[in-house]
Amino acid sequence: MCKFFLTYANTSSYMNNTTLKKISEILGLSISTISRALKNHPDISDKTKQRVVELAETLDYEPNANAINLRTSNSKLFGLIVPSISNWFYNAFIASVEEESRKNGYSLMILQSGDDPLIEITNLKLCRQNRITGLFVCISPDTTNIEPFLKLKELDIPVIFFDKVPEINNCNKVCVADSLSATMAANAIVNKKKKKVLGIFGNPHLLITKKRLEAFQNTINEKVNKIKLITDHASSSVEAEEIMLRHLKEKPDTIFCMSDEILIGAMKVVQQKGLKVPQDIAVITISNGGAPKLYYPEITYVETSGHKLGKLAFSSMMACLGGSTFIQELTIESLLVEGGSL
């Protein structure tokens, strides 16, 4: 045995990875015995187990995930495709899914598409090549063809769409309550007896924008005490800034922002003009909670929690893996978080 050990010590610079075979040769046992010993199989005696585990540790054995996946065809790996990880909401979502995955013995392959449908497809291929067990995906705004994603279902790979979901029906989706959260924000404004609201919304051809705009408008307009509502669209923080500057002449008493990005643009103008919040102008937004806390007073917001959405997406995934063929379209509830801005 000592001889064997020396031999392997010498060749360690060439064969740099410990394998079951290597351990088996040193110990004079078969590969299968080593494999079973390491996973505490009842067939193997305690003496043997101890010897094996000990050597495995000193040799710093790490099982080869590729071999295991190949053999068992169960990768215990989820794919997660997102337009960008540089985003508070997605950050929270990812952290949440990752935590759950880790706790349940899965790992996570995070891929970002940079809003490029081509990269998105590349990422999808990568997921398939790595034989993922399931996929979480938030499609980019420019993605028109979701066929490739649906194809995974034929391969028995569950797909959970989150946040930006396709408009078709036969797929699992988890979303924030787009309409409801806008309604809640509108109600908060109404309750505060505001008179003139500037609502800044996002890219007008996104589904999320349409939903929020419609719900917001309806809620504001259904009130008897007529509130004047000005709406406009901004696709970026800078555009939101311009819109704020343009509409400030009309003296709104309240600003509603559909997203963090828009809030940030709007708040730059608030600072620039030296406006007091909420005395000169009230502000309310829809957010995961990161951006509103940047300001003083903290901005009142309707929370759409990436963290909660992650939990929901994960449990939906587990349900699919558990054999549920029930297609679900889930929504997390929203919550009004009071800052001092309204």
Partner DNA sequence: AACAATTTCGCAAACGTTTGCAGCGAATTT
Partner DNA sequence: AAATTCGCTGCAAACGTTTGCGAAATTGTT
- Give the footprint of a second copy on this chain (CB under 8 A): 16-17, 60, 62-67, 69-70, 75, 84-86, 88, 91-92, 94-95, 98-99, 102, 107, 109-110, 112, 114, 119, 122, 125-126, 128-131, 151, 154-156, 264, 267-269, 271-272, 274, 276, 294-297
CB nearer to DNA: give 46 or 167. 46
Q: Which of 70, 118, 168, 294 binds DNA (CB under 7 A)?
A: 70
CA quadruple 268, 272, 276, 282: dihedral sign: negative
Q: How far apart are CA 276 and CA 295, in angstroms?
A: 12
Using the rule CB under 7 A, is 203 a contact of DNA? no
Using the rule CB under 7 A, is 125 a contact of DNA? no
125 binds, among a second copy, DNA, none (CB under 5 to 8 A by kind): a second copy
Q: How far apart are CA 304 and CA 335, in angstroms?
A: 7
Look-up: residue for tokens 């959970």? 160
Question: With the CA atoms of 313, 317, 322 and 324 taken in that order, what torsion angle do they form, in degrees rounded to the nearest 10?
Answer: 80
315 binds, among DNA, a second copy, none (CB under 5 to 8 A by kind): none
| Min dist. Cβ of residue 277 to DNA (A) | 59
Q: How far apart are CA 59 and CA 50, in angstroms?
A: 14
Q: How far apart are CA 26 and CA 103, in angstroms?
A: 35
Q: How far apart are CA 339 and CA 342, in angstroms?
A: 7
295 binds, among DNA, a second copy, none (CB under 5 to 8 A by kind): a second copy
| Min dist. Cβ of residue 201 to DNA (A) | 46
| Min dist. Cβ of residue 74 to DNA (A) | 9
Using the rule CB under 7 A, is 67 a contact of DNA? yes
72 binds, among a second copy, DNA, none (CB under 5 to 8 A by kind): DNA
User: How many residues line the site for DNA (CB under 7 A)?
Assistant: 29
| Min dist. Cβ of residue 64 to DNA (A) | 3
Q: Could you tell me which residues come within 8 angstroms of residue 328 by beta carbon, excluding any fewer than 6 positions away?
A: 172, 173, 316, 319
Using the rule CB under 7 A, is 144 a contact of DNA? no
Using the rule CB under 7 A, is 32 a contact of DNA? yes
Q: How many CB atoms within 10 Å of residue 138?
A: 24
272 binds, among a second copy, DNA, none (CB under 5 to 8 A by kind): a second copy
Using the rule CB under 7 A, is 31 a contact of DNA? yes
Q: How far apart are CA 297 and CA 109, in angstroms?
A: 38
327 binds, among a second copy, DNA, none (CB under 5 to 8 A by kind): none
DSSP code per residue over 115-184: T-HHHHHHHHHHHHHTT-SEEEE---TT----HHHHHHHHTT--EEEESS--S-SSSEEEEE-HHHHHHH
Using the rule CB under 7 A, is 48 a contact of DNA? yes
Task: Please give the structure tokens belonging to residue 69.
Answer: 């996946």
Using the rule CB under 7 A, is 57 a contact of DNA? no
Residue 322's nearest CA partner among 71, 79, 132, 134 is 134
33 binds, among DNA, a second copy, none (CB under 5 to 8 A by kind): DNA
Q: How many CB atoms within 10 Å of residue 213?
A: 20
Interface residue list for DNA (CB under 7 A): 17, 19-21, 28-33, 35-36, 38-39, 43-48, 61, 63-64, 67-68, 70-73
